[in-house]
Amino acid sequence: MENDDKLVLGGHEFTSRFILGSGKFSVDLIKAAVDQAGAQIVTMALRRVEAGQKDNILDFIPKGVTLLPNTSSARTAEEAVRIARLSREIGCGDFIKIEVMRDSKYLLPDNAETIKATEILAKEGFIVLPYMYPDLYAARALVDAGAAAIMPLASPIGTNKGLSTRDFIQILIDEIDLPIIVDAGIGRPSQACEAMEMGAAAIMANTAIATAGNLPLMAQAFRKAIEAGRAAYLAGMGRVRETASASDPLTGFLGD
């Protein structure tokens, strides 16, 4: 891969295009997962802390990794803004992944509230990465609201069902002039690769890694798939045709 192929988010450059979630697995495995994923960005969530609770996930994240807190548990723009501000107060940078959802069965994002939260937080200097349902008008509104990237879902969170929204993500890739980071529902390396071949700027995955039999090995498989898909996209796909096209010269046969 060319070293000058950078993912740029809010003026920050990344060579990795794999954003790793840190949920649903032991903190003891985070370092191995991050290392094998080659991830430079890791997501996390904000929750209440108990008195005397000494263990903290930040102690397990390798140095130099950019933290991407999410606003999960927010049901409205107002709650997302509150969580974002508290997250920034912990002192790990200005990145925020907005998640606003009220539906607990499918965890689908509320695009309208997400747009409102994006506008407020972008004005406050946050680098805003909104998780959204892949809708072109909502994506355009997020661009106008100051988002640094758009994060459309492939399938509902945690389902590992792959690119259910494939054609609509392609529309966003084609029409939106911001990095499109496919988030949620990617279950296999092949699906991550396909999204990258389509022109996605990056992949965010958590459950696919966290629920794998060998977590660091799956992180490595995703890294390779994402790199392969990116290289294929940059290379430009070979053409498809209906009839055969010989790969070998059609002259100079033995016995001619």
* Annotated binding-site ranges: 158, 184-185, 206-207
The number of residues that bind other proteins (CB under 8 A) is 40
Location of structure tokens 């930040």: 58
Rounded Cα distance between 100 and 25, Å, is 23
Which residue in the list 31, 54, 63, 97 is annotated as catalytic?
97
Q: What number of CA atoms fall less than 13 Å from residue 76's CA on the CB side? A: 3
**Interface map 128-157 toward other proteins (x if CB under 8 A):** -----------------------------x
**Interface map 188-217 toward other proteins (x if CB under 8 A):** ----------------x-xx----------
Answer yes or no whether residue 90 interacts with other proteins by CB under 8 A.
yes
Cβ within 8 Å of residue 233, ≥6 positions away? 196, 197, 198, 199
Which of 1, 8, 15, 24 binds other proteins (CB under 8 A)? It is: 24
Contact 150, 130 (CB under 8 A): yes
In this complex, which beta carbon is closest to other proteins, that of residue 88 or of residue 230?
Answer: 88
Answer yes or no whether residue 123 interacts with other proteins by CB under 8 A.
no
Cβ within 8 Å of residue 105, ≥6 positions away? none
Answer yes or no whether residue 82 interacts with other proteins by CB under 8 A.
yes
Which of 54, 105, 239, 241 binds other proteins (CB under 8 A)? It is: 54
Which residue from 144, 44, 56, 166 is spatially nearest to 99, judged by alpha carbons? 44
97 is catalytic: yes
CB of 105 to other proteins, least distance (A): 17
In this complex, which beta carbon is closest to other proteins, that of residue 30 or of residue 150?
Answer: 30
Dihedral sign computed on CA atoms, order 119, 121, 123, 126: negative
Torsions phi, psi of 7, nearest 5?
A: -90, 120
Total length of the chain: 256
Detail the residues annotated as belonging to a binding site for 1-deoxy-D-xylulose 5-phosphate: 158, 184-185, 206-207
DSSP 131-147: EE---HHHHHHHHHHT-
In this complex, which beta carbon is closest to other proteins, that of residue 91 or of residue 238?
Answer: 91
Catalytic residue IDs: 97
